[in-house]
Structures are given as C-alpha cells and as structure tokens.
Amino acid sequence: MALNIRKDAIVYQIYPRSFKDSNGDGVGDIRGIIESLDHIASLGANHIWLSPVYESPNDDNGYDISNYKAIQPQFGSMEDFDELIFEAKKRGIGIVMDLVINHTSDEHEWFKRALAGEEKYRNYYIIQKGKNGKIPNNWGNFFAECPWSKFGNSDNEYYLHLFSKKQPDLNWHNPDVFDEVKGIMRFWLDRGVVGFRCDVINIIYKNTLADGKKQLVLTGREHYLSTDGCHNILQRLRSEVLEPYGAFAVGETVFVDLLQAKALCDSDRGELDMIFYFEHMEVDQVFVKWFKTQLKPKKLMQTLTKWQNALQWNACYFENHDQPRFISRFKDLGSYRAEASRMIAGLLMTLRGTPFIFEGQEIGMVNGDFNNLSEIEDIESHNIYAMAKRLKIPKGMRWKMIKRTSRDNARTPMQWSAAKNAGFSSGKPWLKVNANYGEVNVAAESEKPNGILAFWKKMIKMRKENEILANGCFKVLFEGNRIYAFERELNGKRLISVSNMTGKRAKLPKSLQCYDKLVVSNYEKGGRGDMNPFEFRLYYAENK
Ligand code: ISL
C-alpha cells in the first residue's frame, strides 16, 4: 500500500493551549492559530498536526476527550474549526487531527451512561470485579497511579485506566467501539482533515487482564503491546476509513522494538503510514524517563541509524509536547543555542522520513525556566513527584528530576515577540512564559537573515525541493563521539549530511575530507576545515 502523504511533506505540530491566544483568557485557541497561519506557511509546512481540540475537562490537557464531535469551548467553536480548515487549505496546508482512542474522559457520555447502569455502555469500557478483596490485576499505569479505580458506587467493581483515573480505557473487544470510532474519523474527514496522529495506538487492544510479569514500569504490558487484535483494528481502519479518503495515519507507539514497528508500518501491512518511536528520546535516560543522565551523542547517532535502516519510512522528530526541548539536552549547549537549533534543523531535514517540527523549535526555544512544582501544571509531573515522595527520594532531588523531565518544558507559551507575555496572550498565560522571550521570539528572529528561523526555512525549502532528500536511500558514513555523518543517495547523486553534536570543535574525519562541494553550513563562515561547535554541513557528491 502506498503512503498517503507525499514524501516531500513537512508537518508542524501545534499544542493549541500554548500556541496563540486571541481572546485574552490565557489559553491558546483556534482563532489564534488562524492568525498565525502565515507564519506556518512561510516556514514551508504542508500539514499541521493539532494536539486534541475536542471537548475535554482537561485533566490531561485534551487527551481526555468528553465529546469527539465537539470543539473545546476554550479553543473556540466548530465554525472556527471549519474556518481553520479553509484558511489552512488556502495556504496549501492540511490539518491532521489527534485521534485518542485508547481511552475517553470519564465525563464522556458513554462513561456516564455506563455509570448509570446501561449495559451497552458498560461494555464500552473495561470493568472488572476485584480479586480477593483487591484490584483485578498487578498492572502498572503510565502516570504512576493505580490503573484501577472503583466503578461508581460499586463495592467490588473497578474500571481500567492506563493513564489518569479520568481516562478510562475503551474496550476494543466490543465491535460497537470500533463502529463509534469509524464514525468519529469520518466526521472529521468529511470536514476536510487529511490525516490522524493516533495516540498510544499500539496499546489499545488488551489480550487478557491476567497478571503480568513484574517490571520496573508498566507491569502487564506484554498483554497489550502490539497485539494481533490491534493489528487487525488498524488494518480495518485503514481499508474501511482512511483509504477511501486518501488520508494518512501516524501512530504514536510506545515501547516498540524494531520488529513490532515494522509490523505496524511496513507498506505491505496496510496499517499505519509511519510511527513515532521513542528510542532516540530515551538515549539520555536511566531505566525510566524521569531519571536522566548526560546525553551521549554517539548513542543518539547509533539509535538514529538503527531506525533509519530498519524502517521503509520514518516519522522523524526531536521534539513534541511530551518531551523536554531537544537542544536543552546537550550538556555543553552553553552559548550555542542558535547553532544547536540550526544543527538540528539540518539533521532533521536530511534524515529519511517525514520531518515533524514542534512549535517553537523553529526559533530555538529551550526548556521552561520553572522554579518549583507550583509552576508546573502537567498531571504526569505531579504524579511522579508524589511517587518519588512515597519512595522517600529527597525533596531537592525530586524537584531536579521533575524540572529536567517535565512535559511542561515543551508546553510553555509560544514566544511570538518581546511584547508582554511574549505576544502569546494579553491575559495571564495558563503556564509560565520562559523569561528568555525578550531575546528568543519569532519577531526578533524574523529580522535576522542568518538567524535560527531563517536557517530552518532554508533547510525546509531544501528538503522540499530536493528529490534526493525526499526519496534517496540512507547510508551511515560516520558515528564518532562528536561527528555524525550519513549520505542520502538517489540515482548516483549524493548528499552528505554532517553534524557536530557537541559544543566543542571537532576534526572532520579523514573519510569525510574528500567532499568539497559544500551545499550549506549553519555557520556564516563555516563549511571548511574542522567542524565548529554544533556545526552542520551538507555536501554534494556524485558516484564515480
Ligand atoms: O514519554 C513517553 C514515552 O516515552 C510518554 O509521555 C508517552 O508519550 C505518553 O505517555 C503517551 O502519550 C500520549 O498519550 C497520553 C498523553 O498524556 C500524551 O500527551 C500523549 O502524547 C495519554 O493520552
């Protein structure tokens, strides 16, 4: 089955709460996105992936949906949404929706009717009797809670929630759930959306609720990761819903290994167009993502290479709304914020696969400058902090852990200008604006012909116009402690991508010294001799 997205397309992710507030309530909204479309168009994005904009009580910022066919009132109305589709389309941009179908909100009509005792809706969820006066099994939970909560007033019945207790998991053994989801997808496809980003899609189908093998995190996961039932659902969603519209699907897939990944997105499978895997996000973690160590560039390079080689087509990304800002992970970032951001632009646009840019990445935004837990909103961070407290991890260490790993690091308001609240909102922003906004903002970057934004635009343009970058094969050339190099090749024409992933100068390895046709460097006076800190170069070569 062919890809339902052009190979030269670029996707820009928006976290609507944090993007642009048009009405001064401190929360970003759809009109704010409409006002900002020219920025996204000038960047060169073909698609916008919107994190959820559906009605939601916001326990997990919209990933807890109470009505899949309505817009979150804080974000605007369905008319605003239709206008967004229309205005985006005028600029050649397609809208991609976030499809969250592992769970709903406990405030969804279905769950409420289940609680009211309607059998039909009880079967939409995973409700189980307790075992010997205890919860039904020993599973873990993504947000460090107990995954089972009492179902209504019942004495001994529980519902499963792999995320917060306000996110009950759906029962994908029930064909009615499947039909509901098909209806939801068609509802949005009929309004003109071009694809879906499918939230934690490889965990939706639970084979059994039996106890799992004890693990450090997520005990029980062997019972629901990439099950045959999940593959079957994805194949049907593809053929019955997506294909008739020519719509694409990128799956967020947690804990996937290469084999599972291939089974989810190789083209002959007829499931997903591509997946977001996490291994390169995890290169600086110890066991779990809340314990971080220094990022070792070589490990990052090896991981990128491994996935580039394994999959027919990749979803390439370094940032999203769940991850700390990527350039903040470099221990020797120092004063090289701009260079590192431009290096990542070069790297992202030259890897093989669809590049996903997260809002703010194009101006080199860094982690939030939070001082204490009261400045953090994210439910996951609060839960982890509480768990660390239970484990008697000292206060200072607990905070250090959260500060470095919190998902809010990427969710601070978009920095548009040096005006009040970074031009994000005239009201009090829902999350603290990074204090560096006077220097780091879109308006300031727009004035700099050789700035960060200008380089992102340059690389995006190149990525879109160059057939080798869209279609060429990937081959790794060098993985060192500092330098990463690979080639993209098409019909004997080659582009050689070279990145210095450290804040130190680095010798260009002998094997790369033969290249002399420089296409681009992220340094004004770069491109020759030793590599500058975080320098990126692209060379052209032909096969002899
Ligand atoms: O970092 C992770 C895996 O390494 C996790 O944050 C993982 O991405 C996540 O738990 C799954 O994320 C998705 O589903 C969640 C929601 O809170 C996230 O924002 C979303 O991206 C539940 O819907």
- In the predicted model, residues of the chain with pLDDT beneath 70 are 544
Which protein residue has the closest C-alpha to ligand 1 atom 3? Answer: 254
Task: Give pLDDT tens digits for 227-277.
Answer: 999 999 999 999 999 999 999 999 999 999 999 999 999 999 999 999 999
Pocket of ligand 1 contains residue 60 by CB under 6 Å? yes
Which protein residue has the closest C-alpha to ligand 1 atom 10? Answer: 142
Pocket of ligand 1 contains residue 163 by CB under 6 Å? yes
Which residues are the active-site residues?
199, 252
d(CA 220, CA 211): 6
Residue 239 near residue 185, CB atoms below 8 Å: no
Which protein residue has the closest C-alpha to ligand 1 atom 23? Answer: 63
What residues form DSSP beta bridges with 132?
Answer: none
Which atom of ligand 1 has the smallest separation from the CA of 60? 17
Angle at which helices 297-310 and 258-265 pack, to 10 degrees? 40
Q: What is the pLDDT of residue 288?
A: 87
Residue 422 near residue 414, CB atoms below 8 Å: yes
Task: Give pLDDT tens digits for 289-312.
Answer: 889 999 999 999 999 999 999 999
Ligand 1 center from residue 62 Cα (angstroms): 12
- Strand locations in 182-327 (E): 195-198, 248-252, 274-276, 285-286, 288-292, 315-317
What residues form DSSP beta bridges with 98?
Answer: 197
Which atom of ligand 1 has the smallest separation from the CA of 323? 1
What residues form DSSP beta bridges with 374?
Answer: none
* Nearest residue to 48 via CA among 37, 64, 62: 37
d(CA 494, CA 541): 5
Q: pTM score, two decimals?
A: 0.98
Ligand 1 center from residue 317 Cα (angstroms): 15
Pocket of ligand 1 contains residue 410 by CB under 6 Å? no
* Pocket mutation for ligand 1, best pick of 254, 290, 377 (most atoms within 8 Å of C-beta): 254
- Strand locations in 170-256 (E): 195-198, 248-252
Query: What would the two tokens of residue 389 be?
Result: 């407290």
Question: 470-542 in CATH: which number?
Answer: 2.60.40.1180
Residue 351 near residue 474, CB atoms below 8 Å: yes
* Coil, strand or helix at 445: helix
Ligand 1 center from residue 40 Cα (angstroms): 25
Pocket of ligand 1 contains residue 15 by CB under 6 Å? no
Query: What would the two tokens of residue 541 be?
Result: 């070569």
Q: What is the CA radius of gyration of the chain?
A: 23
* Nearest residue to 329 via CA among 371, 359, 296: 296
Task: Give pLDDT tens digits for 472-501.
Answer: 999 999 999 999 999 999 999 999 999 999
What are residue 355's phi and psi, to 5 degrees?
-80, 130
* Coil, strand or helix at 221: helix
Pocket of ligand 1 contains residue 289 by CB under 6 Å? yes
Residue identified by tokens 């990427």 is 410
* Pocket mutation for ligand 1, best pick of 145, 200, 253, 287 (most atoms within 8 Å of C-beta): 200
Quote the DSSP letter at residue 117. T
Ligand 1 center from residue 63 Cα (angstroms): 9
* Nearest residue to 170 via CA among 246, 248, 110, 80: 110
Residue 15, CA distances (Å) to 104, 204, 349 in order: 19, 23, 21
Which atom of ligand 1 has the smallest separation from the CA of 321? 19
Query: What would the two tokens of residue 416 be?
Result: 């548009």
* Pocket mutation for ligand 1, best pick of 63, 256, 292 (most atoms within 8 Å of C-beta): 63
Quote the DSSP letter at residue 433. P
Residue 33 near residue 16, CB atoms below 8 Å: yes
What residues form DSSP beta bridges with 494?
Answer: 489, 541
Return the amino acid letter for 162.
Answer: L
Q: What is the pLDDT of residue 544?
A: 65
Pocket of ligand 1 contains residue 17 by CB under 6 Å? no
d(CA 260, CA 438): 45
Q: What is the pLDDT of residue 454?
A: 98
The fold for domain 7-100+313-367+407-465 equals: TIM Barrel (3.20.20)
Quote the DSSP letter at residue 57. -
Which atom of ligand 1 has the smallest separation from the CA of 254? 3
Residue 205 near residue 233, CB atoms below 8 Å: yes
Pocket of ligand 1 contains residue 433 by CB under 6 Å? no
325 Cβ partners below 8 Å, 6+ apart?
A: 319, 360, 361, 365, 366, 367, 409, 410
* Nearest residue to 174 via CA among 124, 220, 133: 124
Residue 91 near residue 41, CB atoms below 8 Å: yes
A 10 A CB-CB count for 117 gives 9
* Nearest residue to 469 via CA among 485, 489, 455, 486: 489
Question: 109-160 in CATH: which number?
Answer: 3.90.400.10
* Pocket mutation for ligand 1, best pick of 142, 216, 289, 290 (most atoms within 8 Å of C-beta): 142
